[in-house]
Structure 1
């Protein structure tokens, strides 16, 4: 399997380089005057029209990569399940490229890989703009009626605005890849949707800036030539300017509300405004036309496949088993899941509670291990907003059931933390939650005598002493054997930054409480949207929907659009062409996704019913609430079932961790994995230490859920 995966990686690399090469050549004179006329003769057929060239050169390659990557990820999953994950020298090189190169605001932590690709992408934009302007100023202006009528300076100004829009269009070719949660392309380069959100933000800012320049330049140009009326013009045979104006207004609203300071203060307004992206896409595509739409089609097509499948998954109610309430204003929700649902540590689960909000979905860190807890999946929620406050109030009330829907879990397709000799997990506040899933997974791996376990140092920083209750969640609600815990090489250093030991009141101990929920006949265990072989079925959806799209587009073009275009005196409406592409794409995605989903749902129905019967018997009887084993650690150790863990915990009051000292003390190990999750300042500090070059044994990875 290792050879097969290596060959497939080479194929992906060649296809992607070829795809990028086409983008590099598009703005040049060679492509426009030499290649395009020759290729158009063979590719712009009566079945696809002018968009045939872009479909072959820019759409098909990325769709083929997306389909083949499903097979690759399926093979990788089987290899991981069998314990044969590849640890080649290539993986070591990739690991070095992921080391932080610089830490700076507003970009944050930038790795060597991100820096390299960012420079190359900016170079592509500069190259494209330079070539577009060169062709425009040296060739087009000589034959431009606008230049002769209104002046060469005004024509150059207009041309600059037009070409700026072209360059912004390149950003849209990548814009939706990072927000495709079940992406099959991001894992090829070791990314997840959560870790890639920042790329979507960067591309969004850049594209909106370029489009704003494009719009402002044209408004100034129309003002100079006394034709401001053109801003609301809707030409049936050419670019409709009004559609572009509407798209820009929607884009500005989405752009402003997505800025960091606005998003943090007015999250709900940001959330609802950002869902105008559907209208934005419609008017944007109408403005640029069908040929330009096909240039950016792959990332939009794959995003809507993912979005519709997520919608289908979210229509099911998820079985909520229990909730553990902590004295630290946090709770852990435990859901029932099918044994066939596998996910890796640091994954996230999106949760929807209709009784709180009909539209809002919120991501939360998974604390469970799919190997250790085969029938349940757990997430941690901290009370720090209006939505979570309402959820706390509902769970704390006398209700015995709660309607909840979920999407996911989403996370890395592979997580080989066992390759390190030591692990240093640095967390701040609720940032400890992804590391709980890591520790639980290591507990499971400890059951294999042949597995070499890394030494684990968990560095926790909390504001208040009661926040230590989060450490209770290291162990699942179902409990584990003491023999499993004793095998862990775990040391915990806890720092309580805002309290001194002598200032903590000797109040009555507040214990961790567990609330159990009654099963409902409408609830179902969380299961893979397309079954255990999720990647293969996802590949089937991608291939079938795209094949249908090409087929129906060819039929409509050949037998409806083509006859109109070739009748004397008639030209098919420019906007209708784009609308046909969007309509057919949505219909094909709906048909293919629904068919595969219903087929898999029918096959999984028996399995889900069996799981529901087993779990309803297992969880329907309430049990007593377990006591916290970290909170109020001065209790007698004989009453604590996990004495070895308590004894390995040191609590420091009134101080912050000296991260530089902690990390350099671990330098003696040959290979140290450093993971950090917490406030931005903490993440940046750890990244600077690992990037300083003073220690080559530190391998850094940040986990951030701050959008």
Structure 2
């Protein structure tokens, strides 16, 4: 009861602070804010310790930093409570199910639910509201910036300037979706992987606005004969050169992120996107410290997450084995510490320095931390240049492969398995990988006698060739631990082979092999970056680094910047403190505070986990043995274990056919059916369209996409 009360109070607090933060954005462009509130706020908040940043630090930065820090505590308590109450039944409520239903299925936008469409409409309304109010106020007090300037020219300049203001609103939200270890996204049931599309939408919006802002000013300078302004780097106001450099980096990132370019030249997209550091640097130099504080929370939290990921990736993970399947798929198994917990459908980013030191690729975690306490496995499908080179290494009898990892990242709870009475999983090709972890979790939960809500599962998987059926061999782990499948598991597998009309006479069992790697003393098991109390330590990093930033910013402003500014104010030839140097101070202090706080806490947690990791490293390496082989070909059933036999009995293979998804989904009995789809875009959109019809009110869609 106390936990539920705390949960309700916390959520109401988060909502109140967030709504208040949004209302500040709503009132920002209005006349009452600029002419009535601003003078009062500046007189009270813009002290000699924070200068012109005081107001924006309180109104725009503090609320989101408060939510991020307090959200870490909330998630820590939530995880502890879920671990205690795992055996309790979950009351399923779909009162808000309508808002999760897909209402728009379009190629550029993907699958858009009702709640996403509503928030997108509100955000666009905010942009339109802001632009219209900015123009209303500016047109009422129009300033001529040049002698003889015409009214329409001044209005044109005003429109160009305000487009940049509106683009700054997009920047305030731009970095939240790509913060993988975010404490804000889980509060609304999101993960960074499912939020990538919001980052894409915001990126396109901001680029359209900033491009119009830049082109507008170039046209204005041309028609007013002020092209020399393009080369101006003002000491006491906005730097035009910094803005032009920033937009050049942004355009390079924008062009290479176009879907067609990104898919055909992924490496070009990947390397070009690393220009975001220079983009942020010159953007802040252009807009100055006051506007930087308006967008600081997203950037601050992203930098915290990025540096923690950097610290984690400095260590090499201990790679145990590689199970090569005949369908050009490999299962990589890593050693992990027992304290590392993750949920089904999690992903992990890996880097192989011998192939590329810069490329990081995300892969689905198929292992289950409950069934395999000392091992973590991912699946890689041979496809692009990077995976081709990885397969070449495995085929060259290599004894050790150096791998760095980031993650795993995923949902904070197993909501898919606890929300619905039954599940229909629809996959195409390698899209089956998230469902492997889900099925393994169901097998584990079925062994808990106290848990009386095990959902029925229908797995629909479509493959191109019969060799791809061996992917289903991954449904059971390779570990030597005996796996028991309870009769409570109601699993039905419908596998479709689309390009073959009959099963070929091939012995796939001989084609499967397992490669075991020799341990390296420098490698370490994958462990939680900040220890078992990851959320608490993350909250400590966020709060301590932000407090340090405010403290040092106040000291630098009061005892260094303010005296120089006062001295220069009396000298009309030099003006106040340099505009760009103020921005450099802010960026320097933010970076230093994050580096110090993150490094100190990371090293402390690493020291605490050292003994646990050392014990895991002493774990004996399994002796090489034959892979269990594929149980979809006619192997000797006496050699197969009981779990394999049960899965064979649950599987039906259809050759030369595609699944009739509409018939299957609408015909599946049940009042509460969760439909999870992962695969090609066409398949995901087809399932979404089926679930959006009036005949599918009992279907609740969850879409998993790897195509950004």
Matched, 1:360 2:359: yes
Could you say which residue in structure 1 is the equivalent of 2:502? Answer: 501
Could you say which residue in structure 2 is the equivalent of 1:511? Answer: 511
| Separation of aligned partners in 1, 2:478 and 2:242 | 55
Could you say which residue in structure 2 is the equivalent of 1:698? Answer: 699
Could you say which residue in structure 1 is the equivalent of 2:190? Answer: 191
| Separation of aligned partners in 2, 1:638 and 1:382 | 31
Q: CA deviation at 1:639?
A: 3.3
| Separation of aligned partners in 1, 2:486 and 2:637 | 16
The 1:575–1:112 alpha-carbon spacing in structure 2 relative to 1, beyond 3 Å, is same
The 1:87–1:147 alpha-carbon spacing in structure 2 relative to 1, beyond 3 Å, is farther
> Contact (CA 8 Å) 1:147, 1:154: kept in 2 or not?
no
TM-score by length of 1: 0.97
Q: CA deviation at 1:414?
A: 1.4
Instruction: Please give the residue correspondences for 1:311-330 in structure 2 after superposition, counting only pairs within 5 Å.
Output: 311-330=310-329
Instruction: Please give the residue correspondences for 1:405-424 in structure 2 after superposition, counting only pairs within 5 Å.
Output: 405-416=404-415, 417-424=417-424
Could you say which residue in structure 1 is the equivalent of 2:441? Answer: 441
Instruction: Please give the residue correspondences for 1:128-207 in structure 2 after superposition, counting only pairs within 5 Å.
Output: 128-139=130-141, 141=142, 144-146=143-145, 149-207=148-206
Task: Judge which range, 532-541 or 86-95, deviates more.
Answer: 86-95
Q: CA deviation at 1:371?
A: 1.1
Query: Which runs of 5 or more residues in structure 1 are unaligned?
Result: none
| Separation of aligned partners in 1, 2:66 and 2:459 | 43
CA deviation vs aligned residue, 1:473-526 (integer Å, no higher than 9, x gap): 001111554642544211100000111106x35467543211111111001010
CA deviation vs aligned residue, 1:239-283 (integer Å, no higher than 9, x gap): 110000000111000000011000001111110100000000010
| Separation of aligned partners in 2, 1:399 and 1:231 | 56
| Separation of aligned partners in 2, 1:220 and 1:211 | 14
Q: CA deviation at 1:232?
A: 1.4
Could you say which residue in structure 2 is the equivalent of 1:78? Answer: 80
Q: CA deviation at 1:629?
A: 1.3
| Separation of aligned partners in 1, 2:439 and 2:307 | 34
> Contact (CA 8 Å) 1:232, 1:241: kept in 2 or not?
yes
Could you say which residue in structure 1 is the equivalent of 2:282? Answer: 283
Could you say which residue in structure 2 is the equivalent of 1:349? Answer: 348
Could you say which residue in structure 1 is the equivalent of 2:100? Answer: 98
Could you say which residue in structure 2 is the equivalent of 1:64? Answer: 66
Query: SS where residue 301 of structure 2 aligns?
Result: helix
Query: SS where residue 92 of structure 1 aligns?
Result: coil
> Contact (CA 8 Å) 2:88, 2:450: kept in 1 or not?
no
Matched residue count: 697
The 1:603–1:509 alpha-carbon spacing in structure 2 relative to 1, beyond 3 Å, is closer
> Contact (CA 8 Å) 1:161, 1:215: kept in 2 or not?
yes
Could you say which residue in structure 2 is the equivalent of 1:456? Answer: 457
Could you say which residue in structure 2 is the equivalent of 1:609? Answer: 614
| Separation of aligned partners in 2, 1:263 and 1:84 | 42
| Separation of aligned partners in 2, 1:311 and 1:56 | 30
The 1:221–1:482 alpha-carbon spacing in structure 2 relative to 1, beyond 3 Å, is closer
> Contact (CA 8 Å) 2:347, 2:408: kept in 1 or not?
yes
| Separation of aligned partners in 2, 1:509 and 1:480 | 21
Query: SS where residue 629 of structure 2 aligns?
Result: coil
| Separation of aligned partners in 1, 2:9 and 2:480 | 44
Query: Which runs of 5 or more residues in structure 2 are unaligned?
Result: none
| Separation of aligned partners in 2, 1:212 and 1:67 | 35
> Contact (CA 8 Å) 2:676, 2:701: kept in 1 or not?
yes
CA deviation vs aligned residue, 1:308-354 (integer Å, no higher than 9, x gap): 00000000110001110000000000001011101110000101100
Could you say which residue in structure 1 is the equivalent of 2:676? Answer: 675
> Contact (CA 8 Å) 1:69, 1:184: kept in 2 or not?
yes
Task: Judge which range, 333-342 or 473-482, deviates more.
Answer: 473-482
Superposition RMSD on alpha carbons, in Å?
A: 1.5
Instruction: Please give the residue correspondences for 1:494-643 in structure 2 after superposition, counting only pairs within 5 Å.
Output: 494-501=495-502, 504-506=504-506, 510-567=510-567, 568-569=570-571, 570-614=575-619, 617=620, 619-630=621-632, 632=633, 634-641=634-641, 642-643=644-645
Could you say which residue in structure 1 is the equivalent of 2:307? Answer: 308
CA deviation vs aligned residue, 1:206-253 (integer Å, no higher than 9, x gap): 101100000000000000011111011101111110000000111000
| Separation of aligned partners in 1, 2:613 and 2:66 | 33
| Separation of aligned partners in 1, 2:90 and 2:166 | 39
Query: SS where residue 657 of structure 1 aligns?
Result: coil
Could you say which residue in structure 1 is the equivalent of 2:295? Answer: 296
Task: Judge which range, 471-480 or 506-515, deviates more.
Answer: 506-515
